[in-house]
Chain A
Amino acid sequence: MNPTLNVTLSAKDLTLQHGNTTIVESLNLTLPEGKVTAIVGPNGCGKSTLLNGLSRIHHPSHGGVLLDGKDIHKQASRDVARRLALLPQDTIAPDGITVSELIRFGRHPHQSALKQWQMSDQEAIDYALKAADLSALKDRLLDTLSGGQRQRAWIAMSIAQETPLLLLDEPTSALDLGHQIEVFELIKALSEEGKTVAMVVHDLPSACRYADHIVAMKSGKIISEGCPKDVMTKELVLELYGIECDLMPDPMTGSPILINIKRVQSE
């Protein structure tokens, strides 16, 4: 376990396109180390594309993504995979795979055809099982788990990858409220151990509550960035989602929550 190893990830003048359509335009961003960053914005604002760009799945048209100050696409993909783990939205797993087998795949970047099992693999898997609270479920088939448990198993796979950086694309989008909180708390705990986390989140109050840093995007650009209390304003919510609301601090945590929500008639 070496989460204190510092690794930086930043986008520099990053432009991402789908075909000829520009999705993300000349974007600059540096993920604060050891913190949870939430990327928020309306549908189609480019937040998932940005995450795919940061995780080297989407190749940039201009600019680039720097991992430890060097272009991520010029580094060996396996070397990158030892520093940056990714939980995509589109997670297809092989049929009939158990939780511990899935987690074992997280060790892939550390293994080779001639080094298939080492002490470090065993330790990392045990640690991931414990961190994601899956020890009791380790022999269950992935298909038989609830949505929240399955998502925890995928996160455990990225924990086993032992990377200082973790990127998650809508990790809670298909989950009910209870399971959402279960997953968010796990993510928060990981960052408290020193991991740098970035996630795309739909739910604004959850983003404010669990993230240290908010990146608000609209039409492929960052329109506001900073700690939740500073960033979250009525004006921002209006600009992002076209709704009017009032913000009040959560009586328990102090993070902003939305009340009196009204849709603004589009002119």
Chain B
Amino acid sequence: MMHNMTPPEGYLCLTLGQYTCLIDKNAIVRNLLLVTLLIFASIGSLAIGTLSLSPWEVVQAVFSVGDTMNQFVVQELRLQRLLAGLYTGAAFSLAGCLMQTLARNRLATPGIIGIDNAAMAFAVSSVVSTGISIAPSGMALVGAATAAALAFGLSGSSGTRGYRFIVAGIGIGSIAGAATQLMLSQVAIDTANAAFPWTVGSLNARSSLMVSVLGVGLLICLIACMLLTHVFSLLSFSDAVVIGLGRNMKHLRMIALSLSIVLTGLSVAVAGPVGLVALIGPEVARVLARYRGTPLVGSALAGALIMVIADLLGRTMLSPIEIPVGIVTSIIGGPYLIWILIRQRSAHSL
């Protein structure tokens, strides 16, 4: 080579033999910041509770040293809830970011295509219908899959802009919502209470198997997103431009949509519909990225952070009464979202 190769401004170029990879320097800084905050929030979440621990005791307990009682509390009681919060927050938010990029609308969430409503309806039905309740988590997953399959089936294809699919999803979502209300109105109050967490989103009703499944699913989707960042950045162009650059827009949309559905389905099965995270997480990531590019990894990290903090607040604010995480995200997230949308500099990016 005669000249030195310099990467585009603001990027690092990693070279391995003939392979090269561009990394956005600002994204590294942003994501490291989010990871740091996430670590602090996680330690806080593990430390605070009926038995309060110091941060150092938490760290010791996580690595299985120190007081056995502390180890039990952290590892057996709190760690799994923390993981459930981290995974669902990241998954909801990543799914939201994909959906918003896909629909070119910052207010789009996987919720608008009815997935979380259907998961809720199936979970509630399993709680209220039979004496021997089939695991609601499993039913939630079945519900999410059913809704996605129905939306695909009814719309025939994703349509030119995915709108057909969305309209079908909205219909399915409202049917599922109505079915949930009907079921809850027909059963005894105790049963309705038992089903309640599934209608607002809570980390209480989680099943440990589902949390592990979600963890694996999230990891796979996150890796897929990182490998496809290069291609997903094309989703914000018009179809004709994308075709001109040699990519099939329909395939791109299908991949993004499928990832979004899998992530939402799995996390709804763990925590029920904590929908607002899918709006706030990506928005926080975009604010940090100053509305440039599609911050997929940033969205996942921001979503996890919001979920962990929301769950911590829900457990401690009115302790010993616990507020479901879905309600907390709505209470703190709603106003925050309104503020962000109002102070947004230009209307056209909405």
Contacts and interface: CB of A to CB of B under 8 A. Distances in A.
A80 interface: yes
Interface in A103-154: 104-106, 108-109, 111-119, 122, 125, 139
Interface string A49-80: 00010011100000000000000000011111
Interface in B271-292: 290-292
B19 A119 contact: no
B293 interface: yes
A91 B84 CA distance: 42
Given A94-B233, A94-B293, A122 B240 contact: no
Interface in B207-264: 227-228, 230-231, 233-234, 236-241, 243-248
A264 interface: no
Contact of A77 (B20, B247, B291): B247
A87 B18 CA distance: 31
B230 A113 contact: yes
A112 B231 CA distance: 9
A88 B247 contact: no
A82 interface: yes
Nearest to A115: B20
A81 to B, nearest CB: 3
6 contacts: A57-B239, A90-B241, A100-B9, A115-B20, A117-B11, A119-B1
Contacts of A104: 8
Contacts of A89: 240
A259 interface: no
A20 B6 CA distance: 52
Interface of A: 52, 55-57, 76-82, 85-97, 100-101, 104-106, 108-109, 111-119, 122, 125, 139, 158, 161
B243 A56 contact: yes
A122 B244 contact: no
A161 B246 CA distance: 11
B241 A92 contact: yes
B13 interface: yes
B243 A57 contact: yes
Contact of A114 (B19, B291, B349): B19
Contact of B241 (A79, A91, A109, A125): A91
Centre residue among B3, B5, B291 by max chain A CB count within 10 A: B5
Contacts of B7: 117
A76 B6 CA distance: 31
Given A85-B244, A88-B241, A92-B236, A116 B230 contact: yes
Nearest to B349: A95
Contact of B246 (A90, A109, A116, A139): A109
B286 to A, nearest CB: 9
Nearest to A125: B8
Contacts of A125: 8
Contacts of A92: 104, 236-238, 241
Contacts of B135: none
A109 B245 contact: yes
A118 B17 CA distance: 12
Interface in B126-166: none
Contact of A117 (B20, B245, B292): B20
Given A91-B238, A116-B20, A77 B246 contact: yes
Contacts of A118: 5, 20
Contacts of A105: 233-234, 237, 245
Contacts of B104: 92
A37 to B, nearest CB: 18
B77 interface: no
A136 to B, nearest CB: 15
Contacts of A82: 246
Given A96-B290, A100-B8, A116 B21 contact: yes
Contacts of B293: 94, 96
B9 A122 contact: no
Contact of B248 (A77, A100, A111): A77
Contacts of B246: 76-82, 108-109
Contacts of A139: 9
